[in-house]
Structure 1
Amino acid sequence: MSRFSMYDRVQQIQENAEAAQVDKDDWIRDKADELARDFPECAMEFYRPSLRMSPYRVGLDSDAAQDAYAIFVESVCLAKAKELYGEAKFMGDVA
């Protein structure tokens, strides 16, 4: 086997590994987005009238609360999507 064909073979292996990583990342991102759709749009939607606190008093109406909520939802959904990817890979549902 010539060194040029060996180089081509190594390049192909690297490209396949990169493509597999991109596919994995896309699958996880798509699943995380799907899971995120099940969450309420904003932090204020977690307020229940039966609670004896004001949502305004605890800051649920602030932009900072909404930003923190968005980070929370993204973190939870990404973690769950990664877990689901591992399960799907184990079951042979993804390549």
Structure 2
Amino acid sequence: MNPHQTQDTLEQRRWDKHQADMDKDDWISKRADELSLQWPATFNELKNPFLPLSAFAQAAATQKVSDAYENLIWEICLTHAEAEWAERWMLGEVA
């Protein structure tokens, strides 16, 4: 092989890997979005309706708690989606 052809081959492999990584990240992100829809939208929907109202309920209504809940759900769904990707990749179901 001449040097130019070797360089072109290496460059094509880099681009193919980059595209595969982008496809993987896109698949994981979409799957995490799907999984997040299975969770209650807010922390207040998650709490037990039989517990009496208290200072806890008032604190749970704050924006800080809402943001923390959203981050928690996203991390759970992202981790689950990454595990699904790894499993499907090992089974040959995704490229």
* Fold match (TM-score > 0.5): yes
Once superposed, which parts of structure 1, at least 4 consecutive aligned residues long, lie more than 3 Å away? none
TM-score (norm. length: structure 2): 0.92
Alignment of 1:60-79 (within 5 A): 60-79=60-79
> Structure 2 unaligned runs (5+)?
none
User: More helix by proportion, 1 or 2?
Assistant: 2
Aligned to 1:85: 85
> Structure 1 unaligned runs (5+)?
none
Q: Secondary structure at the match of 2:60?
A: coil
**What's the CA shift for 1:62?**
0.3
Count of residues in Structure 1 that have an aligned counterpart in Structure 2: 93
- Between the aligned partners of 1:69 and 1:8, the Cα distance in structure 2 is 48
- Between the aligned partners of 1:13 and 1:47, the Cα distance in structure 2 is 50
Aligned to 1:12: 12
- Between the aligned partners of 2:15 and 2:49, the Cα distance in structure 1 is 55
**Could you give the per-residue CA deviations for residues 40-79 of structure 1, whole angstroms, max 9, x where no partner exists?**
11111122232245211xx110000000001001100000
Please tell me the residue identity of whatever aligns with 1:70: E
- Between the aligned partners of 2:84 and 2:26, the Cα distance in structure 1 is 13
Bigger drift between 1-10 and 47-56 goes to: 47-56
Alignment of 1:28-43 (within 5 A): 28-43=28-43
TM-score (norm. length: structure 1): 0.92
Please tell me the residue identity of whatever aligns with 2:22: V
- Between the aligned partners of 1:76 and 1:93, the Cα distance in structure 2 is 23
**Could you give the per-residue CA deviations for residues 67-93 of structure 1, whole angstroms, max 9, x where no partner exists?**
000100110000000000011111111
Aligned to 1:51: 51
